[in-house]
Amino acid sequence: MTSQRRRALSNIASRKCEDKGSGMEKPVTEIYGEEVFNLKTMKDFLPKPVYIKLLNTIREGAPLDQSIADDIANAMKRWALEKGASHYTHWFQPLTGATAEKHDSFIEPDAEGGVMMHFSGKSLTKGEPDASSFPSGGLRATFEARGYTAWDPTSPAFIKRGRNSATLCIPTAFCSYKGEALDKKTPLLRSIQAVSKHAKRLLMALGEKNSVRVNASLGAEQEYFLVDKELFMARPDLLQTDRTLFGNVPAKHQQMEDHYFATIRPRILSFMADVDTQLWKLGIPAKTRHNEVAPAQFEIAPVFEEANLAVDHNMLVMETLKQVADEHGLVCILHEKPFAGINGSGKHNNWSLGISDGRNILEPGSNPHENAIFLTFLGAIIQAVDLHADLIRASVASASNDHRLGANEAPPAIISIYLGEELTEVIESLQKGKASGKAKTGGFMHIGVDALPLLPMDTSDRNRTSPFAFTGNKFEFRAAGSKQSCAGPNMVLNTIVAEALDEIATKLEKAPAGKRIVELQDIFISIVKKHGRVIFNGDNYSKEWEKEAAKRGLHNMKTTPEALKCIVSKENIKLFEKYKVLSGTELHSRYEIFMEEYHKTIMIEGKVGLNIVKTMIFPAAVKQQAILLENLIKLKTLGIKAGAEPQKKNLELVGKAIEDLSSLVSRLEKGIVSHDTASILKELVSARTTVDALELSVDDELWPLPKYSELLFMY
């Protein structure tokens, strides 16, 4: 073991958990949301008429009345100053996939040598950051480098604290000079509008009142790894690529199934408690925390919220995990596949549609009217997913997620829907128009006439292999990557479902009110007939499913470049333009940005891998060779035969590996020079084979990289 590794391990061993064991300092109810300019705070700080107008914007999506912007800004400033803030920032989500902020202080010199604290309605509603260094995919010519950030009143402002700072963060959308979206929030907001509009139309066609509003909801379960900071720092691959490019799975990894839901170690629990506290202060409803399947893997899940807010909150969850880990001498890894041969991390995207009166459209009902609504929306989703599986797949495409999808631990790249046996049976009997023994009324089953028979209200599915599973009252999309923003997948879901709802609503609206239920039956049956192929309740990890899916004509796009192409297909541009979510130009720019990101990621991995091989592994192998050689020469000089043969064999092995490494280096270099990502990926895999074999034969004292057994178990 190298001295660096040894030091790290001894520091871990002597670490003490400083938990006092006294629980929270203040009750959760007292700290919850204390850093948020939420409705309650607004009510306290705003004149009543202003509060009512703003509430109207937040709840009903009414355009913001500019005349109240100054009042709101003033109230926000007073609140933020009371909280100790000195700066404000428009907080946005550029296409890098991270969040961005540029802080401005509130100060304004008063011409007498002092300052006043100032914040105007204009500064609240509009910002003009220099956008030239954010990816735009050609949308923004350099001569108009200005980008605009525009306040999103539906996601409340909050205070972000550093050790000695407090900054008022205002969630914003980020657009180019001409109003083209340069971020992830803008199209998400547009897609929510589209799905709300058509869901409402359909509800009204089904007899609901005009006053209902529909919003998409999201609960994002977040998986992550924690690794000791000192060990992490000794791995250039983790530092630079967020994943290990080399390393053998240790003898004991996850096969004992002893990590999942196991007792949480004190150091980790102390970390988790700090994460929860910070999130609660930010008004983020962190609910669940537990050990995950892989060693050193964990999960945090919030209570679901309106999709736009939930996406913002998930971005803050990821940021908080990273920051708090650092304070605890840990590093939080959000990469989808940081360790080969060990489970990767995903983000389960739980999605549904909620009605303003508290009902959930995806909750199977207990009366015929509710069932009609449920089944109609279910039909819409089946149609949407089948028609646009390509877009769903594209929405989770990234260099890092490619390592996980289809690797027998995460859903495959084939997008299908799991409905569960019972629901599938109901659908089949509806389709066949056959007698269903289970229908309450007996005889034939009809939408909107029969209550759903014996539907398990708590369909928690035990089939964890489906990428898109109905789980009782929501769909759980499981292919999303752990480090991705949820904005993309939800933007796609909302848009494709909006299209299906629009189509069904248009048909229903044409039928006379009395005939709609019959019409509904026909629509549903024809949807299942056309799109039922996308339903699959079996084992998604199996080879048979891959074959079966191919027979059914379903996509199976294994790599990001393959998956991304559909973003700019003619039909998909038409779809996004029709629902005013993204224009053709915006889609083309996104395609370019995502491809470039993929390309850059692999180039970086190639260079890091090359460097590690050349400067760490190769020298270690040579040292090993030298030790063996020296010993063999001595043995020979003394005429000792015993023990010489095995050392010679080892010498051969190491010599061969040195040769392999050197030819690998030249192939990798070639791939890098010619920007050939496919070749780089291939060479990285073969480098791994050689390096990992060496790891098993080189003296542990000489091995330069912390091993998996250390990274995954020493914390």
Q: Which pair of tokens denotes residue 99?
A: 């969040």
* Contact range with Mg ion by CB under 5 A, out of 66-74, 151-159, 343-351, 538-546: 343-351
Q: What character string, x for contact with ligand ADP (CB under 6 A) and - otherwise, covers 497-516?
A: --------------------
In whole angstroms, what is the distance from residue 707 CA to residue 704 CA?
Answer: 9
- Kindly state the smallest distance separating residue 358's Cβ from ligand ADP, in Å: 11
Residue 460 touches which of ligand ADP, Mg ion, none (Cβ within 5-8 Å per kind): ligand ADP
Residues 355 and 203 sit within 8 Å (Cβ to Cβ) = yes
Residues 246 and 612 sit within 8 Å (Cβ to Cβ) = yes
Looking at the Cβ atoms of 196 and 352, the one nearer to ligand ADP is 352
Residues 709 and 231 sit within 8 Å (Cβ to Cβ) = no
Looking at the Cβ atoms of 147 and 302, the one nearer to ligand ADP is 302
Residue 474 binds Mg ion (CB under 5 A)? no
* Contact range with ligand ADP by CB under 6 A, out of 45-53, 300-308, 531-539, 544-552: 300-308
Q: Which pair of tokens denotes residue 519?
A: 């019409």
- Kindly state the smallest distance separating residue 319's Cβ from Mg ion, in Å: 22
Residue 462 binds ligand ADP (CB under 6 A)? no
Residue 481 binds ligand ADP (CB under 6 A)? no
Applying CB under 6 A, among 471, 482, 572, 589 the residue interacting with ligand ADP is 471
Residue 301 binds ligand ADP (CB under 6 A)? yes
Long-range contacts made by residues 339-342, C-beta under 8 angstroms, separation at least 24? 339/225, 339/243, 339/244, 339/247, 339/249, 339/294, 339/708, 339/711, 339/712, 340/244, 340/247, 340/249, 340/688, 341/248, 341/249, 341/253, 342/249, 342/253, 342/254, 342/294, 342/295, 342/297, 342/708, 342/712
* Contact range with ligand ADP by CB under 6 A, out of 267-275, 336-344, 397-405, 470-478: 470-478
Residue 314: closest CA among 188, 495, 135, 492:
188
Residue 308 binds ligand ADP (CB under 6 A)? no
CA 578 to chain centre: 27
Applying CB under 6 A, among 127, 137, 147, 302 the residue interacting with ligand ADP is 302
Residue 473 binds ligand ADP (CB under 6 A)? yes
Applying CB under 6 A, among 88, 298, 304, 377 the residue interacting with ligand ADP is 304
Residue 613 touches which of ligand ADP, Mg ion, none (Cβ within 5-8 Å per kind): none
Applying CB under 6 A, among 71, 221, 390, 660 the residue interacting with ligand ADP is 221
Question: Judging by beta carbons within 10 Å of its beta carbon (0-12, 13-18, 19+), is residue 40 exposed, middle or buried?
Answer: exposed
* Contact range with ligand ADP by CB under 6 A, out of 102-110, 375-383, 473-481, 504-512: 473-481
- Kindly state the smallest distance separating residue 353's Cβ from ligand ADP, in Å: 8
Position of minimal CB gap to ligand ADP: 219
Looking at the Cβ atoms of 299 and 502, the one nearer to Mg ion is 299
CA 204 to chain centre: 34
* Contact range with ligand ADP by CB under 6 A, out of 183-191, 346-354, 499-507, 598-606: 346-354
Looking at the Cβ atoms of 221 and 230, the one nearer to ligand ADP is 221
Looking at the Cβ atoms of 356 and 473, the one nearer to ligand ADP is 473
Residue 217 binds ligand ADP (CB under 6 A)? yes
Residue 347 binds Mg ion (CB under 5 A)? no
- Kindly state the smallest distance separating residue 122's Cβ from ligand ADP, in Å: 36
Q: For the stretch 423-440, what's the b/e string if a residue is b when 16 or more beta carbons lie within 10 angstroms of its beta carbon?
A: bbbbbebbbeeeebebbe
Q: What count of other Cβ atoms lies within 10 Å of the Cβ of residue 626?
A: 11
Looking at the Cβ atoms of 476 and 660, the one nearer to ligand ADP is 476
Residues 145 and 151 sit within 8 Å (Cβ to Cβ) = no
Residue 460 binds ligand ADP (CB under 6 A)? yes
Residues 487 and 185 sit within 8 Å (Cβ to Cβ) = yes
- Kindly state the smallest distance separating residue 316's Cβ from ligand ADP, in Å: 15
* Contact range with Mg ion by CB under 5 A, out of 36-44, 164-172, 340-348, 548-556: 340-348
* Contact range with ligand ADP by CB under 6 A, out of 72-80, 188-196, 471-479, 683-691: 471-479
- Kindly state the smallest distance separating residue 439's Cβ from ligand ADP, in Å: 26
CA angle, 640 as apex, 636 and 646 as ends, to 5°?
Answer: 85
CA 245 to chain centre: 22
Where does 211-341 have alpha helices with state H? 229-233, 236-241, 266-281, 307-327
Instruction: Render 244-262 in DSSP notation, one character per residue.
Output: -SS-PPPSSSSTT--STTP
- Kindly state the smallest distance separating residue 24's Cβ from Mg ion, in Å: 27
- Kindly state the smallest distance separating residue 277's Cβ from Mg ion, in Å: 24
CA separation, residue 43 to residues 56, 155, 254 (Å): 13, 16, 51
Contacts of 276 (CB under 8 A, 6+ apart): 286, 289
Residue 65: closest CA among 42, 49, 44:
49
**What is the DSSP secondary structure assignment for residue 265, as one 8-state letter?**
P
Looking at the Cβ atoms of 471 and 572, the one nearer to Mg ion is 471
Size of the site for ligand ADP (CB under 6 A): 17
Name the residue type at position 482: S
Facing residues of 162 across strands? 165
Q: For the stretch 505-534, what's the b/e string if a residue is b when 16 or more beta carbons lie within 10 angstroms of its beta carbon?
A: bebbeebeeeebbebbbebbbebbeebbbb
Applying CB under 6 A, among 352, 376, 424, 465 the residue interacting with ligand ADP is 352
Q: What character string, x for contact with ligand ADP (CB under 6 A) and - otherwise, covers 547-566?
A: --------------------
Looking at the Cβ atoms of 350 and 690, the one nearer to Mg ion is 350
Residue 348 binds Mg ion (CB under 5 A)? yes
Name the residue type at position 131: A
- Kindly state the smallest distance separating residue 371's Cβ from ligand ADP, in Å: 17
Facing residues of 165 across strands? 162
* Contact range with ligand ADP by CB under 6 A, out of 81-89, 134-142, 156-164, 211-219: 211-219
Beta strand 468-470 with 305-306 is: unpaired
Size of the site for Mg ion (CB under 5 A): 1
Q: Point out which residues bind ligand ADP (CB under 6 A).
A: 217-219, 221, 301-304, 350-352, 360, 460, 471, 473-474, 476
Q: Point out which residues bind Mg ion (CB under 5 A).
A: 348
